[in-house]
Amino acid sequence: MPIKVLVMLVALMSVPGSTAGSVTANTGAISSLRIPDTAVYDQNGKRLSFYADLIKGKTVAINFIFTTCTTICPPLTAMFRKLQQDLGERIGLEVRLISVSVDPANDTPERLHDFAAKFKAGPGWTFVTGNKAEIDALLQALGAAVGDKNDHTPMILVGNDVTGYWTRAYGLTPPATLVKVITEAANRE
């Protein structure tokens, strides 16, 4: 069942990403976001409920990848890896990283597992795939739906479920800046 995420703060809506050269976080808060409780699989083949198991009560950063994407996804994932290191002990407890596959038909849990291992993804960072129709609906809800997976924009969704604050950042935002964005999301009243 979809869970309505209440939005506390409405700021200027901007969806960056097309400007690949952007260096700043270029964040923009989002006015309304409903995060569905989609049944998904993680990289270990474990069945999870997207909202209940991954989002609820946490601050999260979500990026969108697929394992056969070689130009943009390795940099996106390497950035997340650095972000994970920079977040240190906060990861898993307070903050979670999620990478959602935009190619669920091909990205089996095993493929995601290999991909995650290649980038040394650690605990607190979940790779997500599942039934194509359901993942498509999830992507739609997260504002990351694309017709052609190769056109998917490098975007990171940062949010705090407790306060309902959600914002977007450019996928290749330097990790130090992203840590600030995440910290800000986590500390929102």
Partner 1 sequence: MSLPAHDRCTLPYIICLASIAGLILPGSFGDLVFAGGAAQYLLTAQEKSGKQIYVHGTSPGGRKISAYLGESSVEVPGRTMPCANCHGLDGRGKPEGGVVPSNLTWEALTKPYGVTHPEGRTHPPYTDRALELAITRGLDPAGNKLLNVMPHYQLSQEDLGDLVAYLKRLGKDHDPGLTENSITIGTTIPARADLAGIGQAIKAVTTAFFEEVNSRGGIYNRRIELKINATSDTPITTSAIVKRFIQNEQVFAMTSAFTAGADKELAALMDNLEVPMVGPLTLYPQGGYPLNRHVFYILSGVEGQARALVNFACQRMPVKRAAVLIVYSDDEMAKGVLEAITDQCRKSGCGPPEPYGYPNADSDVPGFAAKLKQTSKSVIFFLGTSREAIALMKEASELRWSPTFYLGAIAGNEIFGAPPSFAKKIFFSVPSSPDDHTRTEEFRDLATKHKLPAHHLGVQRSVYSAAKILIEGLKRAGKDLSREKLIQALEGLYEYPTGVTPAVTYGLNRRIGAMGAYVVTIDLEKKQFLPASGWIDSN
> Which residues contact partner 1 (rule: CB under 8 A)?
17-18, 20-21, 23, 68-75, 78-79, 81-82, 106, 108, 110-111, 113-114, 118-119, 150-154, 171-176
Question: Of 140 and 150, which has the nearer Cβ to partner 1?
Answer: 150
Residue 153 binds which entry of ligand HEC, partner 1, none, CB below 5-8 Å type-dependent: partner 1
Q: Tell me the angle at which helices 175-187 and 73-87 cross, rounded to the nearest 10 degrees.
A: 60
Rounded Cα distance between 127 and 44, Å, is 9
Question: Of 76 and 181, which has the nearer Cβ to ligand HEC?
Answer: 76
Is residue 183 packed enough to be buried (19+ CB in 10 Å), middle (13-18) or exposed (0-12)?
middle
* Nearest distance in Å: CB 112, ligand HEC: 20
* Nearest distance in Å: CB 20, ligand HEC: 7
Question: Of 2 and 45, which has the nearer Cβ to partner 1?
Answer: 45
Question: Of 109 and 154, which has the nearer Cβ to ligand HEC?
Answer: 154
Nearest to 146 by CA among 38, 15, 28: 15
Rounded Cα distance between 20 and 10, Å, is 25
- Residues 3-42 binding ligand HEC (CB under 6 A) are none
Question: Of 60 and 69, which has the nearer Cβ to ligand HEC?
Answer: 69
173: left (phi > 0), else alpha (psi -120 to 50), else beta?
beta
Can you read off the two tokens belonging to residue 36? 């569905």
Can you read off the two tokens belonging to residue 73? 């996804």
Can you read off the two tokens belonging to residue 102? 């935009």
Binding mask 64-103 for ligand HEC (x = CB under 6 A): -------x---x----------------------------
Report the Cα–Cα distance between both ends of the chain, in Å, rounded.
Answer: 26
Residue 176 binds which entry of partner 1, ligand HEC, none, CB below 5-8 Å type-dependent: partner 1
Total of residues contacting ligand HEC (CB under 6 A): 2
